[in-house]
């Protein structure tokens, strides 16, 4: 005779607070109760008593919102004045340790999911699923030209259809979640120019085609007007920066704004910076920022799919927890409503990176990634800086 065994179900965790932003609706839920079983949200209610089989954490006057999702970070860059030099001086073990510290910084700042759009030697792939880190969607080293933008990260491909197809295949075989391709030059790489495309349209098309054959989406780093036009024409799923950079200014042709909106190409707006006394973006950036913001606004009004990313790690004004600063910029400078701005760093961001079914919302079946802040972030986005608690996969993040 066998003795029946009773598997004891673990106790539920119940979070209570004053308000809840669920990641999608503009209206806050009053007196929420979020029930968590292990790593997942199992119920979201309002004004109901706490079930007896749950351990309660009452966060008082706080607002609960989904853990933030940054669509564009670089864990391998340490947000120092010389992130490229620092990375070059590190071996892989040292770089990996620094990436773990970067991830922990993000997590403490409420960023529970990141898309790493450029590491070195595929290091971010090995950090996926690691406890104490945000969830990571990883591109591996960005695909670039010989001597091209971020070539030192190891993603150099011969700039031909054959060359980029081979590079995409290698990324797919290594297990990358997304393909990042450098369609133009960038500020971090001397010798490259933001206003100059790096690949021809035909080569970009081949890269996108190869990625899609492997079930991978492509996002293109695209500053130059020609690079943006080519990325859209090549069928890239998304673009980063989209600054419409020209040699001496910024120029966004109306037809291209229209085309980006019509094609549904995701526009990764690079927003959010931490004010650091004495530190400012370079003058060529400062001069263009008002124009870039106006163009993002035009894209938004044209119906383009705008999403926020920070480029965390690339400079001291871009630490790994900088995403909390993005919604205020989206609201104050682009004119989005606070709720829209919050959606762009939660549900819309999660959807963009392929995790819309698990991340970015507080709803049954979603991962228990939750941020609790003092005050009401819809009324006052600065509340995002008053963090009371962060939960990642149902586990409290040490403060
Ligand atoms: Zn970047």
Instruction: Reduce the secondary structure of the chain to three states and give it as a string.
Output: CCCCCCCCCCCEEEEECCEECCCCCCCCEECEEEEEECCEEEEEEECCCCCCCEEEEECCCEEEEECEEEEEECCCCCCCCCHHHHHHCCCHHHHHHHHHHHHHHHHHCCEEEEEECCCCCCHHHHHCCCCCCCEEEECCCCEECCCCCCHHHCCECCCCHHHHHHHHHHHHHHCCCEEEEECECCCCCCCCCCCCECCCHHHHHHHHHHHHHCCCEEEEEEEEHHHHHHHHHCCCCEEEEEEEECCCCECCCHHHHHHHHHHCCEEEEECCCCCCCCCCCCHHHHHHHHHHHHHHHHHHHCCCEEEEECCECCCCCCCCCHHHHHHHHHHHCCCCCHHHHHHHCCHHHHHHCCCCCCCCCCCCCCECCEEEEECCCCCCHHHHHCEEEEEECCEECCC
> How does the average pLDDT of the chain come out, rounded?
94
Each residue's pLDDT tens digit, 110-148: 999 999 999 999 999 999 999 999 999 999 999 999 999
pLDDT at position 4, please?
44
Each residue's pLDDT tens digit, 73-114: 999 999 999 999 999 999 999 999 999 999 999 999 999 999
Ligand 1 centre distance from Cα of residue 152 (Å): 14
Ligand 1 centre distance from Cα of residue 312 (Å): 8
Q: Which residues surround ligand 1, an ion (CB under 5 A)?
A: 311
Ligand 1 centre distance from Cα of residue 360 (Å): 21
Q: Is the confidence at residue 387, as pLDDT, over 80?
A: yes
Ligand 1 centre distance from Cα of residue 241 (Å): 8
Each residue's pLDDT tens digit, 64-75: 999 999 999 999
Ligand 1 centre distance from Cα of residue 115 (Å): 10
Per cent of the chain over pLDDT 70 is: 97
pLDDT at position 3, please?
47
pLDDT at position 7, please?
43
Ligand 1 centre distance from Cα of residue 269 (Å): 11
Ligand 1 centre distance from Cα of residue 271 (Å): 12
pLDDT at position 291, please?
94
pLDDT at position 157, please?
96
Each residue's pLDDT tens digit, 205-237: 999 999 999 999 999 999 999 999 999 999 999
Ligand 1 centre distance from Cα of residue 65 (Å): 26
pLDDT at position 368, please?
98
Ligand 1 centre distance from Cα of residue 56 (Å): 40
Ligand 1 centre distance from Cα of residue 240 (Å): 8
pLDDT at position 9, please?
57
Give the predicted TM-score (pTM) of the model: 0.95
Q: Among 184-188, 244-248, 341-345, whose mean pLDDT is lowest?
A: 184-188
Ligand 1 centre distance from Cα of residue 371 (Å): 25
Q: Is the confidence at residue 2, as pLDDT, over 70?
A: no
Ligand 1 centre distance from Cα of residue 319 (Å): 13
């Amino acid at each position: 005779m066998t003795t029946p065994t009773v598997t004891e179900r673990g106790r539920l965790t119940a979070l209570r607070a004053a308000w809840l932003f669920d990641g999608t609706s503009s209206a806050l839920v009053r007196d929420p109760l979020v029930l968590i079983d292990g790593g997942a949200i199992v119920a979201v209610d309002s004004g109901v008593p706490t079930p007896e089989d749950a351990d309660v954490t009452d966060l008082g006057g706080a607002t609960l919102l989904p853990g933030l999702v940054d669509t564009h970070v670089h864990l391998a860059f340490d947000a120092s004045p010389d992130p490229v030099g620092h990375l070059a001086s590190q071996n892989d073990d040292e770089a990996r340790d620094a990436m773990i510290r970067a991830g922990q910084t993000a997590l403490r700042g409420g960023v529970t999911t990141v898309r790493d759009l450029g590491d070195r030697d595929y290091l971010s792939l090995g950090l996926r699923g690691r406890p104490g880190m945000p969830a990571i969607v990883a591109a591996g080293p960005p695909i670039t030209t010989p001597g091209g933008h971020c070539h030192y990260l190891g993603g150099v491909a011969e700039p031909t259809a054959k060359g980029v197809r081979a590079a995409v295949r290698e990324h797919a075989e290594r297990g990358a979640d997304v393909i990042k391709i450098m369609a133009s030059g960038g500020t971090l790489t001397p010798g490259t120019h933001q206003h100059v495309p790096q690949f021809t349209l035909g080569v970009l098309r081949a890269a996108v085609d190869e990625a899609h054959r492997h079930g991978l989406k492509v996002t293109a780093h695209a500053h130059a007007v020609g690079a943006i036009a080519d990325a859209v024409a090549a069928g890239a799923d998304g673009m980063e920066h989209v600054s419409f950079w020209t040699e001496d200014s910024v120029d966004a042709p109306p037809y291209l704004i229209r085309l980006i909106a019509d094609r549904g190409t995701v526009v990764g707006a690079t927003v959010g910076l931490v004010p650091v006394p004495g530190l400012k973006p370079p003058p060529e950036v400062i001069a263009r920022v008002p124009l870039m913001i106006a163009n993002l606004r035009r894209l938004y009004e044209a119906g383009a799919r705008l999403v926020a990313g920070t480029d965390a790690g690339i400079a001291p004004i871009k630490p790994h927890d900088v995403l909390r600063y993005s919604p205020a910029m989206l609201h104050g400078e682009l004119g989005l409503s606070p709720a829209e701005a919050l959606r762009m760093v939660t549900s819309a961001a999660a959807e963009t990176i392929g995790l819309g079914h698990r991340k970015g919302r507080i709803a049954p079946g979603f991962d228990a990634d939750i941020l609790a802040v003092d005050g009401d972030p819809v009324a006052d986005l600065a509340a995002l800086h008053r963090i009371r608690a962060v939960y990642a996969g149902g586990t409290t993040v040490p403060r």
